[in-house]
């Protein structure tokens, strides 16, 4: 659903809910990493998860809208995007770009 068709209150509330669900996904990831001993659950680096949750919330909501998901399906999509994080999103984007134009990535890598 385009943002222009929603009243401002619904847009803000939808964005806030997407952020909160993505934050749940990021906290699930942090808990998993803490259980494996890779990082402490509570530390100052937990603040870095907030902007990641904003970005992955937007990405998850966009994917859910693109796939026509609603309700709990859209919520699950947002939580999964939050859990997987930006590294997974970047890998998927590069994979899609390589599939569509493999020479463009090789040329960009050679130029740097």
Global confidence as pTM: 0.69
Task: Read off the pLDDT of each residue in 12-19 and give the average, rounded to a whole number.
Answer: 84
* Res. 73 pLDDT band, cuts 50 70 90: very high
Mean pLDDT computed over every residue of the chain:
82
pLDDT recorded at residue 49:
85
Using alpha carbons, list the distances in angstroms from residue 70 to 10, 17, 64, 73, 87: 15, 13, 7, 6, 25
Q: Is residue 90 part of a domain?
A: no
Tell me how many domains the chain contains: 1
Q: Is residue 68 part of a domain?
A: yes
CA-CA distance, 83 to 104, in Å (whole number)? 30
Q: Is residue 28 part of a domain?
A: yes
Task: Read off the pLDDT of each residue in 37-52 and give the average, rounded to a whole number.
Answer: 85
Provide the Cα torsion 68, 69, 71, 77; round to 10°: -140
Is the pLDDT score of 16 beyond 90?
no
Q: Is residue 18 part of a domain?
A: yes
Is the pLDDT score of 99 beyond 70?
yes
Which alpha helices (H) appear in the chain, and where do they start and end? 8-35, 49-67, 72-100, 102-111
Q: Is residue 103 part of a domain?
A: no
Place of tokens 């993505």: 22
Q: Is residue 96 part of a domain?
A: no
User: In which domain, by residue range, is 18 found?
Assistant: 3-85
pLDDT recorded at residue 110:
56
* CB-based contact 56:92 (threshold 8 Å): no
Q: Is residue 97 part of a domain?
A: no
Q: Is residue 20 part of a domain?
A: yes
pLDDT recorded at residue 78:
92
Per-residue pLDDT reduced to its tens digit, 21-43: 899 988 998 899 899 998 888 88
């Amino acid at each position: 659903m385009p943002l222009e068709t929603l009243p401002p209150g619904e847009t803000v509330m939808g964005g806030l809910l997407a952020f909160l669900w993505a934050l749940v996904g990021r906290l699930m990831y942090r808990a998993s990493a803490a259980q494996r001993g890779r990082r402490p659950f509570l530390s100052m680096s937990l603040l870095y998860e907030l902007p990641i949750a904003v970005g992955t919330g937007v990405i998850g909501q966009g994917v859910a809208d693109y796939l026509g998901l609603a309700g709990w399906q859209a919520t699950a999509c947002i939580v999964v995007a939050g859990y997987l994080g930006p590294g997974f999103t970047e890998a998927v984007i590069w994979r899609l770009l390589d599939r569509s134009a493999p020479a463009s990535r090789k040329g960009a890598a050679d130029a740097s």
